[in-house]
């Protein structure tokens, strides 16, 4: 059996078990909702949520589009800013010493708490949402990129120096590929935070988006739709995460396969 | 396993390098604390000579190697290679470290060719030579594999190929067999001798193994513990090729004894109280 087929098998096996897990969860939920006669505004059964969603999803599509664009744009800005900054910091110790305290202070400030301030500064449009998504996803990308870029073994850098190679070449051939797994770890953490940030920003002030709808449904005690919206938001988060992972698989396949090696052995052993 | 001797067919025998270490000393500063790593070392290595440096851990062997390679500039003194003072990293050499440090996203051949890529040369021109070198160290079938698929010994062989691909006149090896098991180590040692006999590159070989140093070298430089100084330089007049047999010669035993004696007298080794104690004559 080829390596790829084994991998595929491993993934589908993971899915199969996951699907079984969810099926059990939903069944228990459905049954308890009926057996214990839980009011629908407190906890609607999954079938009721599904029925609500099917009835009213067109309105949600627009909202989902608004939210998704905030998430994706904010996330992209975070990537564009933090990776070059990480490269900059990894090359200069004085800059690192200067910038790091600021970054840590920024990270410690509960950014969600200053979200209302963004409204004062930037109004109700796209800007405050982008800013919050950016701020929340920026830090994990930066930190893991710096960690990756600075963890290149000294021996290999010494080897590179002994060839008289230019720093640009060393960066391209050694530093960057070496740090890609760490960078992607940061990207995946950031991807999950980006979704949270967009929803919070919409909670604070918005007239559209899934976060805004969530508040509206909640206010009307339309709990079924609240759940449906949460599912929609989760889907956006999962898709973003999956996209990052897809890129990772294609860009750093060798690292991944190396990391998967013990897992593969386990699979073969079982 | 095919021996490294095939390297001779691969490599056009090239020039070698003479090294002069001239009053080199190294002090490391950390805050106010000063560590004298090595203290005034004078050493001349002839072109084509195989010289080992042995000494206890922390005696500055690796520091000396880094200074010779120009990766570290000494606090005092200077290094001349072929009459030229080394300023900044010296590029006309190959380096092998204790760890293979292969790039795990590159194939074995890709790792070997990294050396020429970093030297801005066209790797495809070296691919054949790279494969031949890998073949010579018994990795012929592994050139398209990835480092994690190879054992430690195989990875280190690939690292040696990486140090030889551009046919450098000088080879610096910093405990290259230190991380290998005893059997692999012995084989690598024999192979390295064959390689050296066929190419006669200048080799500076750092090791903590007295046996290894004696079996491989023309001269062994014995270093004292920190701050590292040259305790003694011993000519090894064992006939070549030494292979596996040289171990059995009385001359080998005598030289190993001599070096052991130096370490004993410095308190770096202590005689056990077993029945065997005393069978080794004290010096």
Examine residue B264 and state whether it is found in any structural domain, yes or no.
no
- ipTM (interface pTM): 0.84
Which residues, 6 or more positions from A56, have their beta carbon under 8 angstroms from its beta carbon?
A225, A228
User: Which residues of chain B does A3 touch, with a Cβ-Cβ cutoff of 8 Å?
Assistant: none
User: Which of residues B145, B167, B189 is at a domain's end?
Assistant: B167
In tens, the pLDDT along B68-79 reads 999 999 999 999
Of A76-85, B36-45, B149-158, B274-283, the range with the lowest mean pLDDT is B274-283
Nearest CA-CA partner of B104 in A247, A145, A266, A253 = A253
Q: Which of B97, B105, B146 sits opposite A177 (nearest CB)?
A: B105
My answer on whether B8 and B86 are in the same domain is yes
Using a CB–CB cut-off of 8 Å, the residues of A that contact B are 153, 155-156, 158-165, 169-170, 173-174, 177-178, 252, 254-255, 257-258, 261
Question: What is the span of the domain harbouring residue B114?
Answer: 102-167
Mean pLDDT of B201-221: 94
For residues B186 and B157, state if they share a domain: no
Chain A residue whose CA is closest to B114: A173
Average per-residue pLDDT for chain B: 87
CA distance A177 to chain B (A): 8
Say yes or no: B185 and B227 in one domain: yes
pLDDT digits (tens, 9 = 90+) for B14-38: 467 899 999 999 999 888 888 888 9
Q: Residue A115 has which token pair?
A: 């979200």
For residue A214, say if its preceding peptide bond is cis, omega within 30 degrees of 0. no
In a domain, B223, yes or no: yes
Domain check: are B106 and B221 in the same one? Answer: no
Whole-structure pTM value: 0.80
Q: How far apart are CA A112 and CA B228, in angstroms?
A: 58
pLDDT at A53 over 90: no
Q: Is B257 a domain residue?
A: no
The alpha-carbon gap from B273 to the nearest alpha carbon of chain A, in Å, equals: 41
Q: For residue B278, tell me if it sits in a domain.
A: no
Same domain, B1 and B67: yes
B69 and B146 assigned to the same domain: no
> Which residues in A lie closer than 8 A to residue B104 (C-beta atoms)?
254-255, 258
Q: How confident is the model at residue B280 (pLDDT cuts 50, 70, 90)?
A: low
Residue B231 lies in a domain: yes
Q: Determine the average pLDDT of the residues in B235-251.
A: 91
Q: Which residues of A touch B106 (CB under 8 A)?
A: 254
Based on the fold, state whether residues B71 and B194 are members of the same structural domain. yes
| Domains assigned to chain A | 60-263 (1.10.3720.10)
Q: How far does the CA of residue A2 sit from the closest CA of chain B (Å)?
A: 15
Closest Cα in chain A, distance from residue B253 (Å): 35
pLDDT tier at B282 (50, 70, 90 boundaries)?
Answer: low
Residues B81 and B19 in one domain: yes
Q: Do residue B82 and residue B107 come from a single domain?
A: no
Residue B255 lies inside a defined structural domain of this protein: no
C-alpha distance from A100 to closest chain B C-alpha (Å) = 22
Identity of the residue in A159, A161, A261 whose CB atom sits nearest the CB atom of B148: A261
Evaluate whether residue B7 is within a structural domain. Answer: yes
Residues B113, B162 within the same domain: yes
The count of structural domains within chain B is 2
B21 and B134 in a single domain? The answer is no
What value does the mean pLDDT take over residues A105-113? Answer: 84
Which chain A residue has its CA at the smallest distance from B113's CA? A173
Give the range among A91-100, A166-175, B105-114 with minimum mean pLDDT: A91-100
pLDDT in tens, B253-266: 999 999 999 988 88
* Residue B9 pLDDT greater than 50, yes or no: no
- Interface residue of A156, A162, A175, A180 to substitute, partner B, most B CBs within 10 Å: A162
């Amino acid at each position: 059996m080829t390596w790829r087929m084994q991998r595929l098998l491993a993934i589908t096996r993971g899915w199969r078990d996951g699907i079984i897990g969810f099926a059990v969860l939903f069944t228990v939920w459905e049954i308890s909702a009926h057996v214990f006669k839980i009011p629908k505004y407190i906890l609607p059964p999954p079938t009721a949520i599904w029925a609500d969603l099917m009835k009213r999803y067109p309105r949600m599509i627009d909202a989902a589009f608004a939210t998704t664009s905030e998430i994706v744009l904010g996330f992209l800005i975070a990537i564009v800013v933090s990776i070059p900054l990480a490269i900059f910091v990894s090359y200069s110790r004085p800059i690192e010493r200067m910038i790091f305290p600021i970054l840590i202070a920024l990270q410690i400030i509960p950014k969600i708490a200053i979200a209302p301030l963004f409204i004062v500064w930037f109004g109700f449009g796209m800007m405050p949402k982008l800013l919050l998504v950016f701020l929340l996803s920026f830090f994990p990308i930066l930190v893991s990129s710096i960690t990756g870029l600075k963890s290149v073994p000294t021996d290999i850098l010494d080897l590179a120096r002994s060839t008289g190679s230019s720093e640009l070449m060393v960066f391209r051939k050694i530093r960057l590929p070496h740090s890609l797994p760490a960078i992607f770890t940061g990207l995946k953490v950031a991807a999950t935070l980006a979704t949270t940030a967009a929803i919070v920003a919409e909670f604070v002030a918005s007239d559209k988006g899934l976060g805004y709808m969530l508040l509206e449904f909640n206010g009307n005690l339309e709990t079924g739709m609240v759940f449906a919206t949460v599912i929609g938001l989760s889907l956006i988060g999962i898709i973003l995460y999956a996209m990052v992972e897809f890129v990772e698989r294609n860009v750093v396949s060798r690292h991944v396969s190396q990391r998967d090696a013990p897992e593969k052995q386990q699979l073969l052993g079982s | 396993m095919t021996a490294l001797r095939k390297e001779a067919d691969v490599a056009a025998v090239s020039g070698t390098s003479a090294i002069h270490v001239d009053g080199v000393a190294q002090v490391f500063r950390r805050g106010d604390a000063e560590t004298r790593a090595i203290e005034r070392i004078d050493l001349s290595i002839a072109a084509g000579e195989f010289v080992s440096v042995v000494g206890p851990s922390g005696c500055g062997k690796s520091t000396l190697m880094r200074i010779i390679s120009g990766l570290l500039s000494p606090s005092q003194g200077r290094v001349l290679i072929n009459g030229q003072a080394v300023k900044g990293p010296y590029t006309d050499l190959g380096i092998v470290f204790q760890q293979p440090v292969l790039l795990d996203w590159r194939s074995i051949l890709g790792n070997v060719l990294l050396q020429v890529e970093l030297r801005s040369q066209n790797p495809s021109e070296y691919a054949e030579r790279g494969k031949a070198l890998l073949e010579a160290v018994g990795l012929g079938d592994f050139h398209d594999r990835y480092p994690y698929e190879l054992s430690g010994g195989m990875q280190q062989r690939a690292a040696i190929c990486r140090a030889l691909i551009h046919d450098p006149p000088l080879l610096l090896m910093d405990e290259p067999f230190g991380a290998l098991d005893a059997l692999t180590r012995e084989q690598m040692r024999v192979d390295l001798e064959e390689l050296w006999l066929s190419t006669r590159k200048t080799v500076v070989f750092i090791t903590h193994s007295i046996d290894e140093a004696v079996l491989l070298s023309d001269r062994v430089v014995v270093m004292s513990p920190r701050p590292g100084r040259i305790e003694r330089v011993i000519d090894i007049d064992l006939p070549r090729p030494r292979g596996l047999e040289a171990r059995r010669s009385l001359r080998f035993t005598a030289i190993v004894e001599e070096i052991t004696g130096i370490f004993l007298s410095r308190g770096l080794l202590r005689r056990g109280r077993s029945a065997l104690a005393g069978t080794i004559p004290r010096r």
